[in-house]
């Protein structure tokens, strides 16, 4: 009892600590261990001994890499190839899992949460963890079988339960207790309930004049060239850059080829012919359609049914085909942004002067095939070979590819022109020498080959490079300041009895919402929602 009292009195501290550290883990999760940020918060980190430190506890790089490797093996086992995105996600997931484990473990130790042998026995019998429930030895027809499970518990053949019992005592049950305590502490007060009810259900009528920067002529506030230069010199520390690199790349987008599209069209035509020859539309829809809404449960589907729909509910190509067809007509293949459709127009009606159609469909998506992926991969590999052997420019002359140039790439760059996120490309760019050509690098959407054209040393960004950004910033700051001054003047006039109409007459760019009636949760015209309204 004393333990529970102690835990409850300290829960607000624990909850805030958990929240802060979970948010921190999500922030750094995209990094390889997040060491760059954790290092700054928790102390210097030697990457050879730790990928990060959480609350003083190091995350071993070998252990981290082993966990990432296991996650990658799981992805490969499912038949997927490993892309930059999947590798990044695997690292992020492992990082977040490890941070969570450390936080929970330290919190359990700090709060003195333990488990007795009696609790282990109780949970083994009445609340077995999911990995035991999913064990095929304890299942019948794919479902957990309590009888089989109880028989195994009551008739051990050796010490096979010892490891599980220790894990439940030291990890599972303490974590379960902490979780239950957090859930129990997440309460809502009467005042909070009342305030939320008011926000959702009580209408307020307000008269609003919204003073925005529309009333300001921004061209009058733009700084002169000498003002921009003075600002640049006074704030030169804000315009420093790390080493940048100028690059070129060629890319192959992972779009379906004409052959892929033709293959799907031919299958759609074949299905239409089979239906016309008497095969059941619903059965073929359940077998072939790639519309995810067709699945109701694991064991039942909708036969391609879309129900009744009116105009404006479907994509244009589908809508046009359905509404221009007769009742009982089989239409298609119809190409839309989703793929090819075979449409069965079951019935038509008009309600309230609006035409409606009852239809079913079979959707066949046009996806890139492994054959086409291999073709693009081969083309990118051949370009890379030629670039390495004869130079990037020579390879450009002999291959029909789209060239993209990108200036001032930094190690902190997130997106690369045309191809988007590609961490492996950034790694190559900042390890390569000038003129070096990469091998094929891929992400979810592209294959690409890169070369480094030049290296820009660290230092101040040239004035011409940042001049426009400084001009926009200075204009924005001046506009905000002038808007606040004018809003203050309007407030004084209202306080002195001036009606809103007189202010509107003075400046037509003032936004006026007269007698606007809304609940606080919906927000009001022009100003939206805000605490300055909810707290009034």
The reported pLDDT for the residue numbered 298 is: 65
Between these two residues, 57 and 356, which has the higher pLDDT value? 356
pLDDT at 382 (0 to 100) = 96
Domain assignment present for 225:
no
| pLDDT, mean of residues 116-121 | 85
- Give the mean model confidence (pLDDT) for residues 324-331: 92
Given the structure tokens 């190559």, which residue do they identify? 428
For residues 207-226, average pLDDT: 83
146 lies in the same domain as 8:
yes
Task: Compute the C-alpha angle 526/532/533, nearest 5°.
Answer: 60
User: What one-character DSSP code corresponds to residue 364?
Assistant: E
Single residue among 149, 182, 215 that ends a domain in this structure: 182
Q: Residue 348 pLDDT > 80, yes or no?
A: yes
Highest mean pLDDT among 155-164, 177-186, 228-237: 228-237
In terms of domains, do 13 and 112 share one?
Answer: yes
Report helix, strand or coil for 32: coil
Whether the CB-CB separation of 216 and 482 falls below 8 Å is answered with yes
pLDDT at 494: 81
Residues 534 and 421 in one domain: no
pLDDT for the residue 516: 62
Q: Is 273 found in the same domain as 202?
A: no
Q: Which residue has the tokens 């009810």?
A: 197
**Is there a single domain that holds both residue 87 and residue 169?**
yes
Q: Which of 304, 333, 364 is the last residue of a domain?
A: 364
Q: Is the pLDDT of residue 35 over 70?
A: no
pLDDT at res. 272: 94
Average pLDDT over residues 30-37: 40
Cα separation, 536 vs 517, in Å, equals: 16
| Distance between start and end Cα atoms, the chain | 44
For residue 333, whether the previous peptide bond is cis, meaning omega lies within 30 degrees of 0, is: yes
Residue 303: partners with Cβ closer than 8 Å, 6 or more residues away: 281, 282, 283, 285, 286, 294, 360
- Rg (C-alpha) for the chain, rounded Å, is 32
CATH code, domain with 75: 1.10.3120
CA dihedral for 222, 226, 228, 231, sign (positive or negative) = negative
528 pLDDT exceeds 70?
A: no
Residue 105 tokens, joined: 């473990």
d(CA 11, CA 99): 20
Mean pLDDT of 364-392: 95
- CB contact set of 357 (below 8 Å; sequence gap of 6+): 308, 309, 310, 322, 323, 345, 347, 348
Choice among 7-21, 130-144, 330-344 with the minimum mean pLDDT: 7-21
Q: Per mean pLDDT, which of 24-28, 333-337, 350-354 is the most reliable?
A: 333-337
Shared domain check, 421 and 360? no
The pTM is what? Answer: 0.57
Residues 528 and 414 in one domain: no
Boundaries of domain holding 53? 2-182
Lowest mean pLDDT segment, chosen from 184-198, 234-248, 441-455: 184-198
pLDDT of amino acid 447: 95
Q: Are residues 62 and 178 in the same domain?
A: yes
Of 199-208, 309-318, 499-508, which one has max mean pLDDT? 309-318
Number of domains in the chain: 4
Q: Which of 132, 147, 182 is the last residue of a domain?
A: 182
Please report whether residue 219 resides in a domain: no
- By mean pLDDT, which of 129-138, 270-279, 316-325 is the weakest? 129-138
* Residue 476 within a domain: no
Q: Are residues 390 and 446 in the same domain?
A: yes
Task: Judge if 26 and 117 occupy the same domain.
Answer: yes
Beta bridge partners of 524: 528
Percent of the chain whose pLDDT exceeds 70: 84
Please indicate, yes or no, if residue 155 is contained in any of the structural domains: yes
Is residue 354 included in any domain, yes or no?
yes
Q: Is residue 235 part of a domain?
A: no
DSSP 524: B
Report pLDDT for 498.
80
Is 481 inside a domain boundary? no
- Specify if 463 maps to a domain: no
Same structural domain, 196 and 310? no
Same-domain pairing of 147 and 39:
yes
């Amino acid at each position: 009892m004393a333990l529970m009292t102690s835990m409850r009195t300290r829960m607000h501290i624990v909850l805030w600590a958990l929240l802060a550290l979970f948010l921190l883990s999500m922030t750094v999760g995209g990094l390889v261990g997040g060491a760059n940020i954790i290092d700054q918060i928790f102390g210097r980190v030697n990457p050879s001994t730790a990928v990060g430190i959480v609350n003083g506890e190091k995350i071993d790089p070998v252990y981290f890499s082993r966990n990432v490797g296991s996650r990658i093996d799981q992805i490969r086992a499912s038949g997927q190839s490993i892309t930059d995105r999947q590798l990044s996600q695997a690292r992020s997931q492992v990082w977040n899992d490890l941070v969570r484990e450390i936080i929970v473990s330290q919190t359990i130790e700090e709060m003195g949460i333990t488990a007795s042998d009696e609790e282990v026995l109780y949970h083994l019998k009445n609340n077995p963890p999911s990995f035991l429930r999913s064990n095929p030895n304890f299942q019948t027809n794919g479902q957990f079988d309590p009888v089989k499970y109880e028989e195994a518990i009551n008739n051990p053949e050796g010490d096979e339960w010892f490891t599980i019992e220790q894990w439940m005592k030291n990890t599972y049950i303490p974590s379960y207790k902490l979780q239950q305590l957090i859930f129990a502490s997440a309460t809502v007060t009467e005042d909070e309930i009342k305030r939320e009810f008011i926000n959702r259900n009580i209408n307020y009528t307000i008269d609003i004049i919204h003073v925005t920067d529309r009333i300001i002529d921004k061209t009058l506030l733009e700084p002169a060239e000498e003002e921009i230069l003075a600002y640049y010199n006074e704030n030169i520390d804000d315009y420093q850059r790390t080493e940048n690199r100028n690059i070129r790349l060629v890319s192959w987008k992972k779009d379906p080829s004409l052959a892929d599209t033709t293959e799907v069209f031919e299958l759609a035509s074949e299905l239409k012919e089979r239906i016309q020859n008497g095969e059941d539309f619903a059965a073929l829809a359940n077998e072939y359609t790639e519309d995810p809404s067709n699945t109701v449960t694991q064991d039942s589907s909708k036969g391609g049914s879309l129900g009744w729909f009116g105009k404006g509910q479907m994509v244009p190509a589908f809508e046009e085909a359905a509404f221009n067809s007769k009742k009982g007509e089989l239409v298609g293949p119809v190409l839309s942004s989703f793929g090819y459709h075979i449409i069965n127009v079951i019935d038509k009606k008009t309600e309230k002067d609006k035409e409606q159609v009852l239809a079913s469909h079979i959707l066949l998506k046009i996806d890139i095939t492994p054959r086409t992926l291999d073709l693009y991969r081969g083309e990118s590999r051949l370009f890379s070979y030629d670039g390495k052997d004869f130079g990037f420019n020579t390879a450009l002359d002999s291959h029909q590819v789209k060239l993209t140039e990108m200036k001032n790439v930094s190690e902190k760059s997130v997106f690369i022109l045309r191809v988007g996120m590609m961490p492996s490309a950034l790694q190559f760019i900042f390890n390569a020498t000038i003129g070096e050509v990469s091998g094929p690098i891929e992400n979810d959407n592209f294959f690409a080959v890169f070369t480094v054209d030049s290296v820009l040393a660290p230092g101040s960004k040239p004035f011409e490079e940042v001049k426009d950004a400084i001009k926009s910033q200075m204009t924005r700051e001046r506009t905000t300041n002038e808007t606040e001054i004018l809003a203050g003047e309007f407030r004084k006039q209202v306080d002195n009895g001036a009606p809103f109409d007189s202010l509107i007459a003075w400046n037509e760019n003032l936004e006026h919402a007269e007698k606007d009636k809304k609940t606080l949760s919906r927000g009001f015209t022009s100003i939206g929602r805000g605490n300055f309204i909810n707290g009034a």
